[in-house]
């Protein structure tokens, strides 16, 4: 039964009295001074605070359980808190525990026996770097949403300080680099070079000192992961021992996180990168043409077959580092991903991947031939290295047979991309590329999901459907192209697209409009500003929008009449300065041929084509003997 008792007390001190009201004396006969909070004569309105206590059911062995709290300015606040604690106690929460959140988090992580190594490492980092410093001193029973809000506010404040620190370090590095350039340029000038060298050494020392304590900014994505760790701990506490009334982590509002979408290295983006060195986004994907250039560049690299596998199979680097020859069949054309190498503080550990990531990948004939070729290269190196050769049993190794470190694979790939001169992509971006190429080949999203080892089709659809130019035909060209205006026009020169304008089945050209006089406009189609006209129209229009709309209708009609497909329309009218927009317009068109081989005269094939490469590929024993 809920029967709390409420009373007032203060922190005053004075002469103590016993239960009969007699003074309590020290050994020398003087009055004993102590806490008189319950008997203070000043207790009343404006003096002292409210306390309460109530009894719970006796614990095991009949031990008394009394809940006591205090420090409330009003009796109503004490009543509200007493009812809250009683309800929590009736729900099973341990309201008597004095355990701190820090002790609870350490107890929780110790109890999690089945966590993957990398998951445990991430949880421990969050606990020691964020949760304990900000929440560790709070009693577990007192934890509320406001404490979590304060933690994230403190993290954002630290972020501002770290950004300023990083900017300062960037400035010091710039000054150090400038001092180094001055030292190099002073070659041959003894006194000037000595002074420049001293300036460089001083600047370098200042930079080293400035870098001390430099820490990464805690991104919104990291905050969400910290909150996930906290939520997991609180959920465990609620389920196992009713340690919390609610999962407070689920009530926190954090900055939104937008997962970066893969972008394709289109010619325009490549040109911008070459000019400025800036990447359009953190996740980039090569086009098939750029992919072919990279494979051609690395064809003589020791690990060419590995790069080929990353591009066409889409594995994770840890999965390829752990792949043993026992899980590969070049005859049956498959390899099985059943283990991975994970890195924790640059230490390597082998463990099974998540259940959804255990999968069997089908190999193309070319991929299988690459594996046979790499095995032959390993055999050759085994003979050359003799006893020094490391028998790791792995498919992908260094030339001495030593297994590859996942981080080394990433760094080697980055270096090869730099040497190739191609626009930069990360090793992990090759997973995006493999998914995109598979979708471009017409494979279902479910096939791509199983190939990449994702737990759901939605993850694959949300993450990997980056769009290559060849896949953009099904998308709306632009608002202007979707709702074109019918502007009267006269065709002065019929549009003819020469064969030189086609790159495979794609042609790109511009429609440039210019005001002649009054409302009279002329629009000409060209592949380049200085190229010959492909065709021209004239019209009467009110401005550049009418000229652009007339061009869209002209090109759309031409495509419909010549069995072509209008892939994309891009309006560049806003590129003109304000004082030029009344007199010029510019629109870019991408069109595609839609012819496909007819089935007339064909009988449906039932076997392999004549002279199929598979006939030459079978006979592995002869190939291995030749190798």
Q: Say which residue the tokens 């820090």 belong to.
A: 102
Q: What pLDDT is recorded for position 366? A: 87
- State pLDDT tens for residues 86-101: 887 777 677 777 889 9
Q: For residue 540, list its beta bridge partners.
A: 520
Tokens 């089935």 belong to 599
pLDDT of residue 598: 52
- How do residues 50-70 score in pLDDT, each as one tens digit? 999 888 888 777 788 888 888
- Pick from 288, 313, 318: nearest CA to 408: 318
For residue 300, what pLDDT is reported?
93
Phi, psi of 521, deg, nearest 5: -125, 150
188 SS3 class: coil
* Rounded-to-integer distance, Cα 16 and Cα 178, Å: 76
Dist CA 270 CA 276 (whole Å): 10
* Opening angle at CA 545, ends 539 and 551, nearest 5: 55
C-alpha pair distances (Å), 444 with each of 362, 460, 470: 15, 11, 17
Return mean pLDDT, the chain.
84
DSSP string, 260-304: PPPEE--HHHHHHHHHH---SSSSEE--HHHHHHHHHHTTTSTTH
Confidence of residue 171 (pLDDT cuts 50, 70, 90): very high
How high is the pLDDT of residue 463? 60
Which sign, positive or negative, has the C-alpha torsion 127, 131, 136, 141? Answer: negative
Can you give the pLDDT at residue 474? 37
Going by C-alpha positions, the residue among 590, 556, 587, 553 that lies closest to residue 573 is 587
Q: Is the dihedral of CA 609, 610, 615, 616 positive or negative?
A: negative
User: Half-sphere exposure (CA, 13 Å, Cβ side) for 336?
Assistant: 9
Asked if pLDDT for residue 383 goes beyond 60, the answer is yes
Q: Is the four-CA dihedral 440, 442, 444, 447 of positive or negative sign?
A: negative
For residues 571 and 535, is the Cβ–Cβ distance under 8 A? no
pLDDT value at residue 355: 54
Q: Where are the alpha helices (DSSP H) in 127-266?
A: 132-135, 145-185, 190-210, 220-241
Instruction: Give the C-alpha separation, 382 to 391, whole Å.
Output: 9
Closest-CA residue to 284 (of 430, 108, 115, 394): 430
Asked whether the predicted pLDDT for residue 458 surpasses 70, the reply is no
Strands of the sheet with 65-72, listed across from one edge? 5-9, 49-56, 65-72
Report whether pLDDT(129) > 70. yes
Note the pLDDT of residue 476: 36
Distance CA 531, CA 535 (A): 12
What's the pLDDT band for 228 if we cut at 50, 70, 90?
A: very high
CA nearest to 379, candidates 391, 369, 370: 391
Q: What is the DSSP string of 530-587?
A: TSPPSEEEEEE-SSHHHHHHHHHHHHHHHHHHTTEEEEEEEE-GGGS-GGGTTTEEEE
Q: Cβ atoms within 10 A of the Cβ of 394, count?
A: 20
DSSP states along 342-361: EEETTEEEEEPPPGGG-EEE
Look at residue 596 and tell me whether its pLDDT is greater than 60. no
Bridge partners for 343 per DSSP: 348
For 128: left if phi > 0, alpha if psi spans -120 to 50, otherwise beta; the answer is: alpha
Q: What is the pLDDT of residue 616?
A: 42
pLDDT of 314: 87
Flag whether pLDDT at 350 surpasses 70: no
pLDDT for the residue 513: 92
Q: Above 90 in pLDDT, residue 595?
A: no
Q: Within 13 Å and on the Cβ side, how many CA atoms surround 574? A: 2
DSSP 331: T
From residue 138, how far is each of 44, 103, 109 by CA, in Å? Answer: 31, 10, 18
Report the predicted TM-score, pTM, of the whole model to 2 decimal places: 0.59
Question: Which H or E run contains 590?
Answer: strand 584-593
Residue 338 in contact with residue 327, Cβ under 8 Å? yes
At 273-317, the pLDDT tens digits run 999 989 998 989 898 889 999 999 999 999 999 999 999 998 989
Instruction: Identify which of 122, 95, 123, 89 has the alpha carbon closest to the alpha carbon of residue 109.
Output: 123
Handedness of CA 279, 476, 448, 306 (dihedral sign): negative
DSSP state at residue 44: B
pLDDT given at position 67: 85
């Amino acid at each position: 039964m809920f029967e709390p008792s409420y009373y007032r007390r203060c922190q005053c001190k004075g002469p103590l009295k016993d239960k009969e009201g007699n003074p309590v004396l020290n050994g020398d006969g003087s009055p004993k001074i102590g806490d008189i909070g319950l008997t203070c004569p000043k207790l009343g309105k404006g003096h002292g605070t409210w306390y309460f206590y109530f009894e719970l059911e006796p614990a095991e062995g009949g031990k008394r359980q009394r809940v006591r709290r205090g420090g409330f300015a009003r009796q109503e606040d004490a009543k509200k808190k007493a009812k809250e604690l009683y309800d929590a106690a009736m729900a099973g929460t341990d309201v008597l525990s004095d355990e701190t959140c820090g002790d609870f988090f350490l107890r929780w992580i110790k109890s999690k026996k089945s966590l993957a190594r990398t998951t445990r490492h991430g949880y421990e980092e969050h606990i020691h770097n964020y949760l304990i410093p900000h929440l560790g001193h709070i009693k577990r029973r007192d934890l509320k949403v406001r404490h979590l809000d304060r933690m994230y506010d403190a993290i954002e404040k630290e972020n501002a300080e770290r950004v300023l620190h990083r900017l300062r370090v960037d400035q010091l590095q710039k000054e150090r680099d400038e001092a180094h350039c001055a030292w190099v340029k002073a070659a041959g000038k003894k006194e000037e070079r000595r002074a420049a060298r001293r300036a460089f050494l001083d600047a370098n020392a200042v930079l080293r000192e400035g870098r001390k304590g430099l820490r990464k900014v805690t991104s919104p994505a990291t905050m969400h992961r910290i909150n996930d760790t906290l939520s997991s701990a609180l959920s465990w506490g609620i389920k196992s021992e009713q340690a919390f009334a609610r999962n407070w982590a689920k009530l926190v509002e954090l900055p939104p996180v937008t997962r970066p979408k893969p972008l394709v290295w289109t010619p325009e983006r490549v040109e911008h990168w070459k000019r400025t060195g800036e990447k359009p986004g953190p996740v980039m994907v090569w086009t098939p043409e750029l992919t072919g250039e990279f494979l051609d560049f690395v064809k003589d690299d020791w690990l060419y077959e590995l790069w080929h596998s990353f591009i066409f199979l889409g594995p994770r680097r840890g999965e390829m580092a752990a792949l043993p020859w026992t899980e590969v069949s070049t005859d049956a054309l498959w390899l099985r991903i059943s283990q991975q190498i994970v890195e924790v503080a640059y230490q390597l550990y082998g463990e099974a991947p998540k259940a959804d990531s255990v999968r069997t990948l089908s190999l193309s004939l070319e991929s299988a031939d690459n594996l046979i070729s790499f095995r032959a290269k390993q055999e050759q190196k085994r003979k050359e290295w003799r006893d020094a050769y490391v028998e790791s049993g792995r498919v992908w190794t260094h030339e001495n047979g030593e297994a590859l470190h996942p981080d080394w694979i990433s760094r080697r790939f980055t270096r090869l991309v730099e040497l190739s001169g191609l626009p930069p992509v990360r090793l992990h971006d090759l997973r995006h590329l493999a998914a995109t190429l598979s979708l471009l080949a017409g494979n279902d999203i479910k096939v791509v999901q199983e190939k990449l080892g994702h737990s759901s089709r939605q993850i694959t659809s949300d993450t990997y459907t980056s769009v290559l130019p060849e896949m953009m035909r099904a998308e709306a060209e632009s608002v202007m192209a979707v709702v074109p205006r019918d502007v009267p026009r006269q065709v002065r020169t019929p549009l003819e697209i020469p064969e030189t304008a086609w790159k495979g089945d794609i042609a790109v050209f511009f429609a440039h409009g210019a005001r002649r006089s009054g409302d009279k406009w002329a629009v000409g189609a060209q592949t380049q500003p200085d190229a010959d006209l492909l065709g021209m129209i004239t019209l009467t229009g009110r401005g550049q929008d009418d000229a652009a709309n007339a061009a869209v209708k002209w090109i759309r009609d031409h495509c419909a009449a010549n069995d072509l497909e209008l892939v994309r329309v891009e309006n560049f009218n806003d590129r003109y300065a304000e004082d030029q927009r009344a007199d010029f317009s510019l629109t870019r068109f991408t069109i595609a041929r839609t012819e496909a081989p007819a089935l007339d005269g064909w009988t449906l094939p039932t076997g392999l084509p004549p002279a199929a490469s598979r006939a030459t590929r079978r006979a592995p024993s002869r190939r291995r003997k030749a190798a």
